[in-house]
Amino acid sequence: MKETQQPESWESAVGFDPHRVRQDFPILKETFRRGRQGERSVPLVYLDNAATTQKPRPVIQAVVDYYEHANANVHRAIHTLGDRATELYEASRRKLARFLGAASEREIVFTRGTTEAINLVAAAWGRTFLNPGDEILLTEMEHHSNLIPWQLLAREKQLTLRFIPFQADGTLALEHLDRYFTPRTRLVAVTHMSNVFGTINPIKAIVAAAHRFDVPVLVDGAQSAPHMPVNVQELDCDFFALSGHKMCGPTGIGVLYAREKWLEAMEPYHGGGEMIRSVWLDRATWNDIPYKFEAGTPNIAGAVGLGAAVEYLSAIGMENIARYERFLTRYALERLREIPGVRIFGEAPERGGVLSFYVGQIHPHDVAQFLDAEGIAIRAGHHCAQPIMRKLGVMATARASFYFYNTPEEVDRLIQSINKMKEFFGNGF
């Protein structure tokens, strides 16, 4: 049987039926009116999941229930609603600790998302441990979120940034990994899965090398945690950042996992309420971890929604999700490659469901606009990774990205629409 042949039963092949789980997502039933008089109705095909994912009913309901039955501030109110809100918020922390395989929920800090989690490490860990002349090792395939915080810190502290290059196939040049380390290397910060190439980087090997040099590792898990099983203790990483909205959760909530020893040793990030123990006019002492890093009223409803999201994902099974997305990605790649003139960026053997491509000479924005007229949502742009675009010699790419609720039939619609676009643009193609 061909790897991309559809099974008789999705349940037995991948453990769940993607057509059935779609019923949990109200927005996937959206249709759009198209044509001059709006005479044509096209159903939504949502293929922009690397940017943000859609939300299933249990997540939406958890947020509604929180506001209808438990809304209060956490950790401070001496009343029943305050207890309810605190219990829900802390229950979500425990769910996230379990989801990531953390040793303790004390290692889970709620943030606004991956971006804030990385900024937290850059500011708090960097402030505490880095000195002029120190080096941070990044890669050329980082999202701006895992680049700019280090650039800012490098400017402030006179640090040097070094980069592991990526190769033509979208994989990192890791053959002689040790040579990137110098006696001044203090931290490695690397993406688990590229949001441009879909490449899944060998984090365990990178961590093992870094730890041989006694260098901690931060993993940008924005694109991995939603799509594959992640166990931070198995990865052995020191920091791991994720965004709730990329994994069926609400926007404005994410997590920084950090080893307890680092959270204990780091200076706080933001100052304010909640993160203190005792305050005088001229000084203060800090709360226990993780609260020391959660200044101010947190996004309680967001945390509750994210807790519901990881429960939902775990019920489907992260292994099952990864297996299904591998199938869908192989299928989409096979079909895309059949279209003459389509160029795909990223050919890593270990990859997730992010496909960056060019259609002939057509500008990616035109590709996205044409597809939108067909009801298909993809991303076009630099994907917050301008250095990658520069190295590839393009301004932008089109990007289709999948989640477990996408189907082979939706891939077929994408392919049909690209073929239609080819006819539409004629010679320009």
| Active-site residue set | 384
| HSE-CB of 47 using CA atoms within 13 angstroms | 33
Contact call for residue 220 and ligand PLP (CB under 6 A): yes
Footprint of ligand PLP on 310-349 (CB under 6 A): none
Q: Tell me the C-alpha to C-alpha distance, in Å, between residue 266 and each of 129, 269, 290.
A: 8, 9, 11
Give the shortest CB-151-to-ligand PLP separation in angstroms: 15
Q: Which residues of 274-285 are buried (b: 16+ CB within 10 A; e: fewer)?
A: bbbeeeeeeeee
**Residue 148: both structure tokens together:** 């700019």
Contact call for residue 143 and ligand PLP (CB under 6 A): yes
The site that binds ligand PLP (CB under 6 A) totals a number of residues, namely: 14
Phi, psi torsion values for 133, nearest 5 degrees:
95, -15
Give the shortest CB-195-to-ligand PLP separation in angstroms: 3
Contact call for residue 48 and ligand PLP (CB under 6 A): no
Region near ligand PLP per CB under 6 A, out of 108-116, 132-140, 155-163, 230-238: 108-116
Q: Token match 């890669």: residue?
A: 139
Answer for which of 53, 92, 145, 320 binds ligand PLP (CB under 6 A) is: 145
Q: Do the Cβ atoms of 425 and 362 come closer than 8 Å?
A: yes
Contact call for residue 352 and ligand PLP (CB under 6 A): no
Region near ligand PLP per CB under 6 A, out of 3-11, 78-86, 140-148, 166-174: 140-148
Give the shortest CB-172-to-ligand PLP separation in angstroms: 14
Contact call for residue 53 and ligand PLP (CB under 6 A): no
Footprint of ligand PLP on 360-389 (CB under 6 A): 384
Q: Is 136 helix (H, G, I), strand (E, B) or coil?
A: strand
Q: What is the CA radius of gyration of the chain?
A: 23
Contact call for residue 223 and ligand PLP (CB under 6 A): yes
Give the shortest CB-22-to-ligand PLP separation in angstroms: 23
Give the shortest CB-224-to-ligand PLP separation in angstroms: 8
Answer for which of 53, 54, 114, 201 binds ligand PLP (CB under 6 A) is: 114
Phi-psi region of 41 (alpha: psi -120 to 50; beta: other; left: phi over 0): beta
Answer for which of 171, 191, 287, 356 binds ligand PLP (CB under 6 A) is: 191
Q: Do the Cβ atoms of 90 and 110 come closer than 8 Å?
A: no
Q: Do the Cβ atoms of 196 and 169 come closer than 8 Å?
A: no
Contact call for residue 303 and ligand PLP (CB under 6 A): no
Which contiguous run of DSSP H or E holds residue 129? helix 126-129
| HSE-CB of 223 using CA atoms within 13 angstroms | 30
Interface residues with ligand PLP (CB under 6 A) are 50, 113-115, 143, 145-146, 191, 195, 220, 222-223, 243, 384
